[in-house]
Structure 1
């Protein structure tokens, strides 16, 4: 049973490490989306100024449109082991314990939808006019706040997984030590039993030898 427990703990530790890697992939994608949103915010402020003409504002709008498409591409294409992790709200269960009680042995994390339409709450991001640039600026603020909320959830679970993995390694090490002690005790017990039997056998042989010599000793006395 202890061997099975040690093996299960090692597997749970691996699960926790892989779950941590998944969250790192998510955070990396979100970090890139955040950088793009920051750039879009700068563009919206620039496009909202009257010192720009229609031509310059058109260039800004083209860049903003391309950046919006890139956000959606990142959200749609970011995956871990075939699982999309940034474009929908999906529950992922990580087995980080050796038992079968979900509340104690599982960590459930819900992914988030980080496409631009979801982050902005449906707000417009076009910057082809001064008025639209102001609307886009407010929409981008909403998107940045929503993204930070999503990243905070990832960070919370990253920290939890780190502590869970640390605890699993400690339990696994202690269980392995306990198993080794039990094995050593079994070996010591068998060696003690073997030594005891060996002593008894040697004593028996010695007594048998002495018994064989008794007739000879009696004959010498009679002579």
Structure 2
């Protein structure tokens, strides 16, 4: 029924104009942000899942950094252990020379002088092999000798323990070795064999731990990539589909504006009936 007191057509046009305008605003927001979910109302469940996945991705990225740091610690420790191993080999060579019956006592004194310096160098390397100011091989850091857990995942249970051996001269039982006599040299050979085995085992343990961290790094990389892909499927906007919605909303908005204009003219047309 035509009326001039209540413009029902205009009210209807305004209602649809608001609906289409909101749709257009929503599409523009999604396209400009690149995200399908710009408000919780867009997809409440999807937002919750995406937030959790994003948290896991951030944690895994930090885990990758943790693994890189752990690998650096192990490489540093292995470098120091390798130097100690070389020194022990030289000490065994000196002990073998001193143990020979063709070596004179005066020569043994010279051999002992170098031998003693090398014992000191073992301790120097053990204490001087540091990471971030912490000695790794002299047993002064109970953190590494007892074992330190490294976070390698998104859960508190995702850890790998780093354990480093004490390779100081006292721990290797070479501090009191003396090759100034043939008897002492004979005893030193046995002790040095044990020390060399100890260092070799320590290096093998370091290598095994480093190998595990390398595989962990690959796993973290794969998990991160998969989670990013899953998060993209949930959160990222489909540009083509959203652009189609925007185009439709723009056309409807223009149509609603035209309808509103026409509806506002209707009362004027009705007034002409009174003339």
Q: Structure 1 unaligned runs (5+)?
A: 217-223
| Structure 2 partner of 1:99 | 155
User: What value does the CA root-mean-square deviation take over the aligned residues?
Assistant: 2.6
Q: Find the residue that maps to 1:118 and give its secondary structure.
A: coil
| Structure 1 partner of 2:231 | 179
* Match of residue 153, structure 1, among 205, 215, 231: 205
| Structure with the larger RCO, 1 or 2 (CA within 8 Å, 6+ apart) | 2
> 1:16-46: CA deviations, max 9, x gaps?
0010000000000000000000001111110
CA contact (8 A) 2:119 2:175 kept: no
Count of aligned pairs: 212
- Once the 2 structures are TM-superposed, how far is the Cα of residue 51 of structure 1 from its aligned partner? 0.7
Q: Does 1:194 align with 2:246?
A: yes
* CA–CA separation in structure 1 for the residues paired with 2:175 and 2:137: 19
- Once the 2 structures are TM-superposed, how far is the Cα of residue 190 of structure 1 from its aligned partner? 5.0
- Once the 2 structures are TM-superposed, how far is the Cα of residue 87 of structure 1 from its aligned partner? 1.4
Q: Which moved more, 1:189-198 or 1:130-139?
A: 189-198
* CA–CA separation in structure 1 for the residues paired with 2:225 and 2:122: 44
Q: 1:101-120 residue pairs with structure 2 within 5 A?
A: 101=157, 105-120=158-173
Q: Structure 2 unaligned runs (5+)?
A: 1-50, 140-144, 270-275
Q: Which moved more, 1:149-158 or 1:165-174?
A: 165-174
- Report which of the two structures shows the higher radius of gyration computed on alpha carbons: 2
CA contact (8 A) 1:75 1:87 kept: yes
Q: Which moved more, 1:202-211 or 1:20-29?
A: 202-211
CA contact (8 A) 2:129 2:136 kept: yes
* Match of residue 121, structure 2, among 59, 70, 86: 70
TM-score by length of 1: 0.84
